[in-house]
Amino acid sequence: MNDKEKMYLPNIFQKFLQVLGTINHKCMMKISRRGLEFISIDDNNMCLANAFISRKVFHKWKVFKESYASINLDFLKKIFSSDTLIEEIKQNNESEIEIFVKKPLEMFLLIQSRLEYENVNTQIKHIIGGATFFEATLPSKDLMILLKKIRQACDEISFYINNGKILCLANFLNFSVLKTLTGDVTTVKFKNLKFSIPMKYFSAILPALSLSSKLKISLTEQGVMKALLLLNGGKYKLSLFISSRIEHDE
pLDDT tens per residue, range 181-199: 888 898 888 878 899 999 9
Q: Residue 231 — pLDDT band, cuts 50, 70, 90? A: very high
The answer on pLDDT for 111 being more than 90 is: no
User: φ and ψ at 203, to 5 degrees?
Assistant: -70, -10
Residue in 189, 175, 179 with CA at minimum distance from that of residue 138: 179
Q: DSSP states of 108-164 as a string?
A: EEEEE----HHHHHHHHHHHS-S-EEEEEEEEHHHHHHHHHHHTTT-SEEEEEEETT
What is the mean pLDDT of the segment spanning 224-248?
Answer: 92
Report the CATH superfamily, name and number, of domain 3-127.
DNA Polymerase III, subunit A, domain 2 (3.10.150.10)
What pTM does this model have?
Answer: 0.89
Domain assignments of the chain as residue spans, ordered by start: 3-127, 132-249
The answer on pLDDT for 150 being more than 80 is: yes
Q: What is the pLDDT of residue 132?
A: 86
Q: Residue 18 — pLDDT band, cuts 50, 70, 90? A: very high
CATH fold, domain 132-249, is DNA Polymerase III; Chain A, domain 2 (3.10.150)
